[in-house]
């Protein structure tokens, strides 16, 4: 029997974001496959720590350090002490510091590319100084050379980041993130009625979006489109579940300008997204940028009809036969697709059945864990070949 594979997962924090949720969700499935994971975080941000500890996974809080030099030194000591076979980093600070610390310790290091970075969408974002973005790109590209492999969550992210980091595409592997098959279990009518009662919407048509209030999520686009939807379907209600962020003020100003206050609910962060999806007539993903849209996978699993941006990453998840894919930059086109779903529930249901089947075949977390297990072992083999050390 092979000895357990020890993997140290390094993240910026365990705040409830997409990369963090995906990391925590896959932990029990990695453990089932003989991996011994440990988690290290650099920032103290509330969120998913209890879930990690509840799984019996050692959690190392390095937030007592406040600079990248401090994090590098702390990670160096942690790697020396815990002796992982592989260090796996996710998100910017974790990538930079974890790569350097692992390299100094002569421990194989891999990094996840959770989304495309340093592209036109970020350049056009006025909240990010261009010089700062270019400096971050340079630092990311230089430290990426220290990795054995990179893991991309989609083929589009792999292709884009290979170019943006000047990193060999032959050393980037794609493993799609997954979601639990248990999402496919039916939410009963009583639960759906309870959540509708809680929201105060009764039997009104429910349009749902899930995402933090940040520019890449495109929620401002959805609000502009919903103004048109509301003209055609006055009793429709839009619910947005997601934490506040840099775009919150913009969203609130659009709601005030369009007079949609009584028909739009900004719920904040929610843990009951499965129930919200089951209660909704349509889920909308209006994103400007995605890695692999995890919330769309959840909608597919639950069987909620979807309207989504026609991004390349989205097309890796669904086809036109399984969701309505539109240019979400055009509010009229987005509104028209939402109205199509509300006006033709039979066709919408047929698409959702196909989407649910696709989820079951290709995007379960069990399948993702199998592929990550193989990814870690390939990284070890490649590292052993390069260094002349025997593999595990």
Task: Give the pair of three-digit tokens for residue 370.
Answer: 């199998």
The answer, yes or no, to whether residue 144 has pLDDT greater than 60, is yes
Domain count, the chain: 2
Does residue 127 share a domain with residue 33? yes
Q: What does the alpha-carbon distance between residue 125 and residue 266 come to, in Å, rounded to a whole number?
A: 23
Q: What does the alpha-carbon distance between residue 213 and residue 197 come to, in Å, rounded to a whole number?
A: 25
Position 17 in a domain = yes
Position 392 in a domain = no
* DSSP conformational letter for 184: G
Q: In percent, how much of the chain has pLDDT > 90?
A: 80
Does residue 235 share a domain with residue 136? no
Position 11 in a domain = yes
The answer, yes or no, to whether residue 121 has pLDDT greater than 80, is no
Does residue 348 share a domain with residue 256? yes
Does residue 191 share a domain with residue 50? no
The backbone region for 56, taken as left when phi is positive above 0, alpha when psi lies in -120 to 50, beta otherwise, is: left
Does residue 145 share a domain with residue 218? no
Q: What is the pLDDT of residues 25-44, one digit of tens each?
A: 999 999 999 999 999 999 99
Task: Give the 3-state secondary structure of 264-331.
Answer: EEEEECCCCHHHHHHHCCEEEECCCCCCCCHHHHHHHHHCCCEEEECCHHHHCCCCCCCCEEECCCCH
Q: What is the pLDDT of residues 199-233, one digit of tens each?
A: 889 889 999 999 999 999 999 999 999 999 999 99
Q: Band of the pLDDT at 392, cuts 50, 70, 90?
A: low
Question: Which is more confidently placed, 125 or 47?
Answer: 47
Range of the domain at 25: 5-178+365-387
The answer, yes or no, to whether residue 294 has pLDDT greater than 60, is yes
Q: Band of the pLDDT at 1, cuts 50, 70, 90?
A: low
For residue 66, the model assigns a pLDDT of 93
Between 55-59, 295-299, 385-389, the lowest mean confidence (pLDDT) is in 385-389
The pTM for the full model equals 0.89
Q: What is the pLDDT of residues 162-198, one digit of tens each?
A: 999 999 999 999 999 999 888 887 777 788 888 888 8
Q: Which CATH number goes with the domain that contains 290? A: 3.40.50.2000
Does residue 212 share a domain with residue 160? no
Question: Which is more confidently placed, 46 or 164?
Answer: 164
Average the pLDDT over 365-373 and give the result: 96
> Residue 101 is inside which H or E element, if any?
helix 92-104
For residue 387, the model assigns a pLDDT of 54
For residue 195, the model assigns a pLDDT of 87
For residue 382, the model assigns a pLDDT of 73
Please tell me whether residue 333 adopts helix, strand or coil conformation: helix
Does residue 167 share a domain with residue 190? no
Does residue 197 share a domain with residue 126? no
Does residue 302 share a domain with residue 219? yes
The answer, yes or no, to whether residue 82 has pLDDT greater than 80, is yes
Between 247-251, 365-369, 380-384, the lowest mean confidence (pLDDT) is in 380-384
Which of 234, 238, 235, 240 has the alpha carbon at shortest distance from 204? 235
Using the structure block, give the residue that is written with the tokens 């092979």: 2
Does residue 383 share a domain with residue 352? no
The answer, yes or no, to whether residue 123 has pLDDT greater than 80, is no
Question: Per DSSP, what are the bridge partners of residue 151?
Answer: 112, 173
Is 88 buried (19+), middle (13-18) or exposed (0-12) by CB count in 10 A? buried
Position 165 in a domain = yes
Q: Which residues of 11-41 are buried (b: 16+ CB within 10 A; e: fewer)?
A: bbbbbbbbbbbbbbbbbbbbbeeebbbbbbb
For residue 193, the model assigns a pLDDT of 86
φ, ψ dihedrals at 27, nearest 5°: -55, -50
Does residue 199 share a domain with residue 109? no
Report yes or no: 331 and 269 within 8 Å, Cβ to Cβ. Answer: no
Q: Band of the pLDDT at 389, cuts 50, 70, 90?
A: low
């Amino acid at each position: 029997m092979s000895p357990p594979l020890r993997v140290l997962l390094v993240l910026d924090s365990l705040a409830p974001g997409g990369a963090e949720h995906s990391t925590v969700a896959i932990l029990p499935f990695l453990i089932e496959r003989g991996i011994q994971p440990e988690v290290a975080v650099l920032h103290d941000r509330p969120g998913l720590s209890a879930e990690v500890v509840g799984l019996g996974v050692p959690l190392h809080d390095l937030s007592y350090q406040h600079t990248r030099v401090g994090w590098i030194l702390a990670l160096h000591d942690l790697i020396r002490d815990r002796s992982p076979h592989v260090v796996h980093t996710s998100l910017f600070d974790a990538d930079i510091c974890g790569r350097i610390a692992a390299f100094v310790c002569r421990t194989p290091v891999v990094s996840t590319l959770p989304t495309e970075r340093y592209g036109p969408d970020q350049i056009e974002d006025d909240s990010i100084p261009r010089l700062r973005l270019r400096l971050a790109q340079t630092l990311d590209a230089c430290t990426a050379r220290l990795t054995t492999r990179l893991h991309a969550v989609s083929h589009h992210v792999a292709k884009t980041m290979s170019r943006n980091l000047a990193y060999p595409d032959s050393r980037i592997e794609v493993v799609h993130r997954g979601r639990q098959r248990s999402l496919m279990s039916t939410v009963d009518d009583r639960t759906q009625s309870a959540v509708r009662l809680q929201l105060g919407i009764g039997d009104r048509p429910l349009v749902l979006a899930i995402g933090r209030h940040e520019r890449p999520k495109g929620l401002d686009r959805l609000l502009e489109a919903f103004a048109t939807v509301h003209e055609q379907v006055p009793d429709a209600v839009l619910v947005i579940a997601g934490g506040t962020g840099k775009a919150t003020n913009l969203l609130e100003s659009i709601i005030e300008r369009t007079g949609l206050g009584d028909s739009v609910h900004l719920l904040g962060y929610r843990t009951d997204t499965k129930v919200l999806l089951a209660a909704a007539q349509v889920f909308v993903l209006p994103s400007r940028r995605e890695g692999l849209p995890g919330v769309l996978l959840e909608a597919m699993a639950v069987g909620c009809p979807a309207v989504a941006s026609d991004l390349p990453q989205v097309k890796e998840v669904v086809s036109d036969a399984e969701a309505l894919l539109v240019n979400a930059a055009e509010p009229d086109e987005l509104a028209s697709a939402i109205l199509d779903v509300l006006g033709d529930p039979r066709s919408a249901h047929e698409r959702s059945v196909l989407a649910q089947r696709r989820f079951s075949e290709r995007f379960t977390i069990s399948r993702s864990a199998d592929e990550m297990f193989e990814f870690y072992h390939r990284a070890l083999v490649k590292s052993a070949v390069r260094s002349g050390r025997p593999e595990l």
